[in-house]
Amino acid sequence: MKVLFIVTAYPRHDRDVITPWMGETIARLQKSGVEVEVLAPSYRGLATGIIDGVKVHRFRYAPASIEALTHDAPALDTIARNPLYGALLPLYIVAGTSAAARIAKKGNFDVVHAFWPIPHGVFAIAAKQASNAALVSTFFSSELNWTGVTKKIFAPILKRIVESSDAVTVISSFTEQRLRNYAPHTKTTIIPFGAAAASRERASVSSVRTKSDPFELLFVGRLVRRKGVDVLLRAAKLLQSDSRLHVRIVGGGPDKANLEREAHRLALGDRVTFEGVVDSARVDVLFGECDALVLPAIVTETGETEGLGVVLIEAMGYGKPVIASAAGGIVDIVQDGKTGLLVAPGDESALADAISRAMNEPEELALLARAGTEFAETAFGWDAIVSDLKKVYESAIEHRTGAESRRHRVL
């Protein structure tokens, strides 16, 4: 079986740390006998090449000096920071559509797999029409948050992509629910891309602290509104008299400066550390050293929230307990009092109470950590993800073949 992944960003070189889950997915698929190539936008003139043994087709859509709509940040974030980048979108869509059709026609692919189908589903439809490949579309939820005029524009396009797909996957039950607001009768398969649990070797490093020990609470993620880091800072303020607590915030993003100012306004001092963007080796160290991971996600005014909460599964893979809010797809991962602690989104008092409980009940926290790790390995392990994905591909190919047979009979 041969598959073409159509994606918004892919590592620019062997040491680039973006979308590590994508590379791991491809590596595991190829070990299982599935040949994979990738179509991704160029970045500042970057040409087609081989990354970690994978052929990556790059399509050019602008002069190299401004060809940075993707990779450094999600395209919509890039446009929000500099609206002039919005002028690149038509060029991006035309170039990507043309490249997808051309590559699919020559590549003899069995499946074209579009990630983030707006706009990559448009590319994939062109690829399907130019070849005999089946089309699989995968939704993550961020592309389903439109309102007003934007929704009126994109809803028909999304419906067309879904109707053209031979199979549709979503990363969580939350995403599935949102997709059905646009395409109510769509049959979907939940595959939590990017969420595969780590191995037990890493989980074994976790140990039980005592009640009087310092407590290192870790946040890892982009500093954007939906992550709820401002709620975490306010919760830390409520616990400021407890000298055990230290909060470490890892990541960068458009809200970083505002959050640092908020921490200063709250006079949190050295109780909160902004680590910034770090490499994977440092992340590994921080996961190993923390006592718990927190993801205080909220639902924003525009309806944005976590499609799944992959970092929670990563923490479980390290054997770490998790504290999170019951927002979006997080509830597919964290069951309150069973695989972690859940609080209401946006409620700093409830979050402070959960953090205090975690500090004061180390034995219970250790039990939650073990249960979380076992759950993650069962529900989000690589074997399950790869097996389910291959079944989706086989089903899509059967659907495509059957549709072609019916069309020929009618003709």
Per-residue pLDDT in tens (0 to 9) along the chain, 411 residues = 999 999 999 999 988 878 888 998 999 999 999 999 999 999 999 999 999 999 999 999 999 999 999 998 888 778 988 999 999 999 999 999 999 999 999 999 999 999 999 999 999 999 999 999 999 999 988 778 777 888 888 899 999 999 999 999 999 999 999 999 899 999 999 999 766 655 444 555 456 789 999 999 999 998 999 999 999 999 999 999 999 999 999 999 889 999 999 999 999 999 999 999 998 889 999 999 999 999 999 999 888 899 899 899 999 989 999 999 999 999 999 999 999 999 999 999 999 999 999 999 999 999 999 999 999 988 888 888 999 999 999 999 999 998 666 665 555
Q: Are strands 54-59 and 49-51 parallel, antiparallel or unpaired?
A: antiparallel
Residue 255 CA, distance from chain mean position: 19
Query: What per-residue confidence (pLDDT) applies to 200?
Result: 46
Query: What per-residue confidence (pLDDT) applies to 17?
Result: 73
Distance separating alpha carbons of residues 332 and 171, to the nearest angstrom: 10
- Taking Cα atoms as reference points, which of 148, 146, 150, 89 lies closest to residue 120? 89
**3-state DSSP call for residue 221?**
coil
Query: What per-residue confidence (pLDDT) applies to 210?
Result: 92
Distance separating alpha carbons of residues 327 and 324, to the nearest angstrom: 8
Q: How many residues does the chain have?
A: 411
Q: Are 219 and 251 in contact (CB under 8 A)?
A: yes
In the chain, CATH 3.40.50.2000 covers 2-196+381-410, 200-379
Q: How far apart are the first and last CA of the chain?
A: 29
Q: Are 322 and 163 in contact (CB under 8 A)?
A: no
Distance separating alpha carbons of residues 333 and 325, to the nearest angstrom: 11
Architecture of domain 2-196+381-410: 3-Layer(aba) Sandwich (3.40)
Q: What is the CATH number of domain 200-379?
A: 3.40.50.2000
- Taking Cα atoms as reference points, which of 38, 41, 40, 169 lies closest to residue 109? 38
| Phi, psi of 189, deg, nearest 5 | -120, 130
Alpha-carbon torsion angle 203, 342, 304, 138, nearest 10: 50
What six digits make up the tokens of 289?
């050293």
